[in-house]
Amino acid sequence: MLSFSRINRNIRSIRRYRQILGVLIKYGFGQIVEQLNIDYYIELGRRIVTLGTASKGLERLTAAQRLRMAMEELGPTFIKLGQVLSTRPDLIPKDFAQEFIRLQDKVPPFDSKSVEQQLFLQLGRPLEDIFASFDSTPLAAASISQVHRARLQNGEDVVVKIQRPGIDTIIETDLDILMAFAYLVENHLPAGLVTDPIAVVREFRRVIRRELDFTREGRTIDRFAANFRNNEAVCIPRVYWEVTSPGVLTLSYIDGIKVNDFEALRRAEHDLQLIAQRGADAFLEQVLVHGLFHGDPHPGNILVLPGDVIGLLDFGMVGHIDETLRHQLVDLILAIVSRDAEQIINHLFYAGNLTEETDRRQLKRDLAEFIDDYYDSALQVIDAGRLVSEFIEILQRHHIKFPADLILLAKALVAMEGMGRQLDPEFNIIEHLRPFLLRMMRERLSPGHISRETRHLGQAYFNLLKTLPSDLKEFVDRINRNKFKIDLEHRGLEKLISDIDKSSNRLSFSLLIGAIIVGSSLIMLTEKGPQLFGYPVLGLLGYTFAGFLGFWLAIAILRSGRL
């Protein structure tokens, strides 16, 4: 028996389906709705008139611009999805990834009464018992949460991040719908718009659920603070765990100047060149030393404190690079710097995912041309942002998928270099990269690292040898019992099967209409039964019904665009 909450969730899903489909049609994606076979959620009369149409003003916009506007209208889940996809140009077309960068949370803040209710619900105490003062006007408001200034009872200034009431329910409903859409896209739409949509939604579901739990972000901040505890050039906010919960995050207030407010920085007599250097070193240390890096280093998340100290904010989006991936990344960078196309392909094979669609010969040619563009350039004049963007374009062109954290790293690297060059026109992040690469190379050649790698390799081979006899025995036993089988999977036939299914259904429908017409004609010839205007009523009803079915079939064929 279905629970009441489950029924409510199903009702919300149906309403949300209709809202999403309505917005898609509004922005000119009616044809996609048709291809996905989900337009039955919209009234038949309405869809015949409006499906696939957009206003004249919207028709002048690109598909990427219209989809970005649709996402903004659909709310927090879709805005976050677009923001995540903007970091994955290897999964979606480049113009869509660039457009999704512009996605903004255009939502009003929730009222002070809701703030008090959320604080009591999350912390179990009224606002006045927790804070000596609390500013009801938020510093910032987004689709998932908003941030307030406050002061604890002990006099310490803090910022309080509070989750929007009911946002978790909205997001869970949208995640169910997105997964259903992903299966439909995989089965009904041609490849090209999104690579592996089901995997994309699963990854997004993991990311946004982690973001909804503020205690995870708090633990991440603590890790950053531990990583930089001996670095006086970097400031990480403190987490006040006694007033933190899954829906509330309380951090120490950091008072500084935004890194892109150059006039204010000059008035405060900050050293812009030193700030650029410290920011680059801090970012590279996160990636190549700690394996945990800030995934969204835009100017709003970086402050400059007295003494040219770098303050980092908002750790909702972070990337992880384990030791193996770090060494693979170093190998790839060294291969690019040494201009060795064959080695780049080998490292792509191990770090990425060369699919059957990858033409290794064409990939090598493209990489050779990519290397030639930078062959005579000195390292200090290479634009790392442009280099990374062009490299990602090559990956996308050849259907090479990389771990999400590596793509996030590439985007963060481009953002860091852009900010560095604004602070210091002579800034070049590759120059800052050199000492970290040398450090990792020395570490790789150290006796301790070699001993550790040898031990791991020996353990792996030992485990293989230990299980090999039993695996071979099972293999032979299966052959002897005629239980050995090979599963074959057809690929690329789904669309053909779908088209054949539609064609057979239409053919059956046509035969049914023909049978009704023939039967009605026989009834008309017999002239038996009730009469209307001198004709048998059953015959007239048969002709009418056949005509209605024929009109319906004609409309379906015309709307599919396949006469």
Q: CA–CA separation, 237 vs 224, rounded Å?
A: 9
Give 41's pLDDT tier (boundaries 50, 70, 90).
very low
Quick one: the chain helix, strand, coil %, rounded to 5? 65, 10, 30
Q: What is the pLDDT of residues 118-130, one digit of tens each?
A: 999 999 999 999 9
- Give the pLDDT of residue 3: 45
Residues in the chain: 563
Residue 51, pLDDT above cutoff 60: no
Give 487's pLDDT tier (boundaries 50, 70, 90).
low
Query: What are the backbone angles phi and psi of residue 109, rounded to the nearest 5°?
Result: -70, 150
Percentage of the chain modeled with pLDDT above 70? 79
- Give the pLDDT of residue 558: 65
- HSE value, Cβ hemisphere, 13 Å, CA-based, for 79: 15
Q: Which residue has the higher pLDDT, 376 or 175?
A: 175
- Give the pLDDT of residue 405: 77
Q: Which residue has the higher pLDDT, 423 or 91?
A: 423
Q: What is the pLDDT of residues 196-226, one digit of tens each?
A: 788 788 888 888 888 889 999 999 999 999 9
Q: CA–CA separation, 485 vs 494, rounded Å?
A: 24
Pseudo-torsion of CA 479, 482, 483, 484, nearest 10°? 50
- Give the pLDDT of residue 495: 62
Structural contact between residues 395 and 403, judged by C-beta atoms closer than 8 angstroms: no
180 Cβ neighbours under 8 A, 6+ residues apart: none
- Give the pLDDT of residue 129: 92
Give 111-178 as a DSSP string.
PHHHHHHHHHHHHSS-HHHHEEEE-SS-SEE-SSEEEEEEEETTS-EEEEEEEPTTHHHHHHHHHHHH
The total of other beta-carbon atoms located within 10 Å of residue 465's CB is 9
- Give the pLDDT of residue 95: 81
Q: What is the pLDDT of residues 289-333, one digit of tens each?
A: 898 999 888 888 899 999 999 999 988 888 888 877 777 777 777
For all residues of the chain together, what is the average pLDDT?
79
Q: CA–CA separation, 254 vs 2, rounded Å?
A: 50
- Give the pLDDT of residue 244: 95
Average pLDDT over residues 388-405: 73
Query: What are the backbone angles phi and psi of residue 189, rounded to the nearest 5°?
Result: -100, 145
The ranges assigned to domains in the chain are 4-104+179-191, 107-178+192-253, 319-447, 451-485, 494-560
Tell me how many degrees the CA angle 116-120-121 measures, rounded to the nearest 5: 115
Give 492's pLDDT tier (boundaries 50, 70, 90).
low
Q: CA–CA separation, 194 vs 319, rounded Å?
A: 22
Residue 469, pLDDT above cutoff 70: yes
Give 234's pLDDT tier (boundaries 50, 70, 90).
very high
Average pLDDT over residues 423-452: 79
- Give the pLDDT of residue 242: 94
- Give the pLDDT of residue 63: 84
Q: Which residue has the higher pLDDT, 238 or 95?
A: 238
pTM for the full model? 0.71
Q: Which residue has the higher pLDDT, 394 or 302?
A: 302
Q: Which residue has the higher pLDDT, 227 or 461?
A: 227
215 Cβ neighbours under 8 A, 6+ residues apart: 244, 245, 246, 249
Q: What is the pLDDT of residues 66-102, one digit of tens each?
A: 888 888 888 888 888 888 787 776 677 778 888 888 8
Query: Across the chain, which distance is largest between two alpha carbons, in Å?
Result: 105
Average pLDDT over residues 234-250: 95
Q: What is the pLDDT of residues 337-357, one digit of tens each?
A: 666 767 777 776 665 555 555
Give 435's pLDDT tier (boundaries 50, 70, 90).
confident
Q: CA–CA separation, 85 vs 81, rounded Å?
A: 6
Range of lowest pLDDT (141-155, 259-273, 315-329): 315-329
Give 153's pLDDT tier (boundaries 50, 70, 90).
very high
| Integer Rg of the chain from CA | 31
Give 434's pLDDT tier (boundaries 50, 70, 90).
confident
Q: Which residue has the higher pLDDT, 102 or 161?
A: 161
- Give the pLDDT of residue 76: 84
